[in-house]
Structure 1
Amino acid sequence: METTKIPGLDKKTTLVILVSSGILIGWSMVSSLLESGPVSASIITYGLYCFYWFYAIRYRNPLIQRLLVFGTIAGILELVTDHYLVDTIDSLVYPGNELMVWSSPMYMPFAWSNVLLQLSFVGVLLTKKKGLLVASIVLCLAGGMYIPLYEHLAKDAGWWWYHQNVTMIFNAPLYVIVCEALISLSLPFLIQYAERHTITKTVYLGIVEGVWILLSAYIAFTIAH
């Protein structure tokens, strides 16, 4: 179990992450109820992403800085996974009436960065309190429930949806739930490694996470579609 102090891990930052996570969930719920369309996804995504950078720089928080770098790199590489889901297996659908990069909305890398930051921060807390193994298991289960919540809300919000030619749980395919669980499983280990090395290593670990997202999607679709 980790006992040394982690720079940037404090009560104020914990509160900021928890409150901002709640805001994201609340915004998604309201957007779903109002069927507000892609513009609401862009507003909350860019707003949160800019806020996290402001907080990291304003308060010189090294943990949030690293998580942002990690999440941004992984989020950019997730565009490959989106292309796989949209064009290779023809499962994921975006409305298309928005700015796109390759097969994804322009905001998507930053949306992934926000969610990876939130989950990774929780992973840091759990690792410090309960150790790496427990943190990985808990985050795996939490990620398998937390991210698919957005998948469920996104359809009614008009952000994205899935062809229902696979096993579904509400509006989320079973393979997506398995994929998100696998992604979350990796976070405590990678983030713990990033804490102990240079920022350049954090970039490399973001690349590793981006590749793992694609592998997780492939594995999950193979075994659970």
Structure 2
Amino acid sequence: MEDVPLAVHGSVQNRPTLPLSTTPSLGYLSTTVCPTAGVRSDAFSNVDIVAPSLQRSIIEAKAAALLRERHVKVDWSLRDRDILSLITAGSSVNVCKICNLIDHATQYCPLQSSVQVENSSSRSYSSSNLQSVDKQGRSRVFHEGREMCNNFNNPKGCYRKVCYLLHQCTKCRATGHGAATCRKSNSNVPVHSSTSSVSSKGNKLEKPNSG
């Protein structure tokens, strides 16, 4: 330390000076003054001083947890105050169900009209498709509340090892055959009879008497 002249009552006295890097201790505080880095505190144990990079990592981790646990996607263009309100314990998250943003409710979403039109058309198409045809586009037939197996009614038959659909003919409701081999559906095929020949009047033909 060096002595600096100090004027007291017209006289000059020498006063010791402290280096630039230190300041007098105030109670329990120990503060260091650095000309290039500003003020650094080593005694504020109850105050969290977080670097910007670490703070950004913490916010990203909280946003990732929010997406994983509540399926809410955080918009990083919003202020951190809004992100903090999302992760507050015990609070309900009011998120738009269409675009996953928190600056407006679902009923005020600008994409609501287009989504409604798309959903209504797809819903009507899917519901009509589910009620009328199966996955291969074949008509679905029901009997007594249960669906009949379209594979069973095809010429190749049902290929499933365990089939929970009804193995009944869609034409005559019989269980012994499918629609491909149903006699009612094949009405053009002549039916062969093994009975004896009958005359047009319904009487049996008699052989002429030779004697």
Which of the pair is proportionally richer in strand? Answer: 2
Q: TM-score, normalised by structure 1?
A: 0.17
Larger radius of gyration: 2
Which of the pair is proportionally richer in helix? Answer: 1
